[in-house]
Amino acid sequence: MKTHSRILRLSRSVGFQLLSSIAAAMAAAASAGAATAPMQGEPKAYTLFMGADVSVSVRNEVCPVCDVSGSAFVVKEGGQPVVVSPGDGSVALKITPGLKITESSAVISGLKAEASYSPGSDPYTKFTKQTNQAASDYAQSQFAANYGNALMIMANSQASNAVGPGGAPLVAGQSPSAGASGGANGSLAALTAASRVAYAQTSLNDVSQISNSANAAAQSAPGPVYGSGTHPDAEMFDAISVSFEVSAAKPLEHPYVMLIGKYRERSGPAGALRTWVYAEALGRIDSKTSKVRIYRGGFPPGFEMRAFQVHLYNDGQEVATNVAANRVELTRDEAFEYVKMEYIGSHKGATLPAVPAMGRLPADLHSRLAGGQYVQAIFVRVSKDGVAAEAFSDEACTRRLDDPYLDSVVRQILFKPALEDGKPVAGVAKLMLGQLIF
């Protein structure tokens, strides 16, 4: 199948208001003497970007997509994974765009999204098939014509050697008389020869009609032309071909990609756009570049893709990519200031305990947890700026845990501060180390 180039360009922009908000938050934190003031030369390991959360309606319940199996969505219903296939056409999707912040990132290069044809509607394929059929028909007509001419020559030769009444040569169309000169055998031979002449003539007439039809078909086979009014199949794209290369410095063990597009039907109103969503599980992504190619049909012929996004996820969490919209790179402290700003802004008037937000967990913590250490809940005093202090074994914070390793782990965790009537205050956070995912 020939793919015709129609590259859909992606646009990336950095929101001025977003940058201004972060700058203002950082300035406020610095003036207040916050413990999270950024250090000089700190790497910008976090990325703030515009992501997308996709949910699926399952039995009147809206469930977030947490994984993808093949090209089917995986959600959790009652705590159990449920596979929802979009193939039956009855899946209702909800797409919620929103700003996300993550330390996981990947690089996408060579991204192309090209409008294309499904195999049955490609005019080039149709042209090739019709041309081949016309050539085959013409070859058969030539063979039939040659065969008919051979029959005619043979029949005329036999007729010229046959004799009629009185031993005279038989003329085509003449009927020999029984019992005449030449006898019965001569009359029979003459009759047979005449029949062959008539049969050959009929065959030639049929061959002529076949040849004329084949020539007409060969001359009328459409060519692969473009332009308004030149051919009804031209530019009637009904599929999309997506290709890109992807890599990640930190391996992504269970990645999947979500393609989200907005397209306009050829005969639809100018401002009416429909949403297209497609998900596909990918293999492990690491520092070695992996190639991804996705081809999907089923679009209305002549559709026009007006917007196109690629979202990458790993273990259900969206990963920042270089093609994400509103992408801003941040230091750890800048990222934390944004997290606090968003959290306080979305919980106006609320009274809530402190909760873990982000952090760096040591590599050996998993093995210690597997060995039975630190499986009980611990309680951490948290300042109004979200910075951890001592850890305790009780919620009243009367029994301090004297454990240098645990103390180092806790101090690497940053918290969303406790809120009282929407205002950040010092508080206590309940912490289950085995449940943390950063």
Kindly list the domain boundaries of the chain, sorted by start residue: 16-117+249-268+303-330, 123-220, 348-435
Contact 350, 422 (CB under 8 A): yes
Q: How confident is the model at residue 266 (pLDDT cuts 50, 70, 90)?
A: confident
What pLDDT, on a 0 to 100 scale, did the predictor assign at position 294? 96
pLDDT for 200 equals 56
- Judge whether 65 and 257 are in contact, CB under 8 Å: no
Local confidence band at 233 (pLDDT 50, 70, 90 cut-offs): low
Average pLDDT, whole number, for the chain?
78
User: Cα–Cα distances in Å, from 277 out to 38, 54, 273, 280, 292?
Assistant: 40, 9, 13, 10, 17
Average pLDDT over residues 354-367: 90
Q: Could you give the CA distance from residue 117 to residue 1 in angstroms, rounded to a whole number?
A: 8
H-helix or E-strand spanning residue 189: helix 183-220
pLDDT reported for residue 359: 87
**What is the pTM (predicted TM-score) of this model?**
0.66
Q: How many CA atoms lie within 13 A of 277 on its CB side?
A: 22
Please report, for residues 27, 110, 111, 270, the alpha-carbon distance to residue 239 in angstroms, rounded to integers and kept in the order given.
50, 20, 17, 20
Report the sign of the C-alpha dihedral through residues 432, 433, 436, 438, in that order.
Answer: positive
Low-confidence winner among 210-214, 280-284, 418-422 (lowest mean pLDDT):
210-214
CB of 292 closer than 8 Å to CB of 282: yes
- pLDDT surpassing 90 at residue 427: yes
CA distances from 50 to 19, 199, 228, 345 (A): 13, 81, 39, 18
Dist CA 327 CA 329 (whole Å): 7
Regarding predicted confidence, which is higher, 180 or 404? 404
**What pLDDT does residue 124 have?**
59
Residue 158: alpha-carbon gap to chain centroid: 72
pLDDT digits (tens, 9 = 90+) for 52-67: 999 998 888 889 999 9
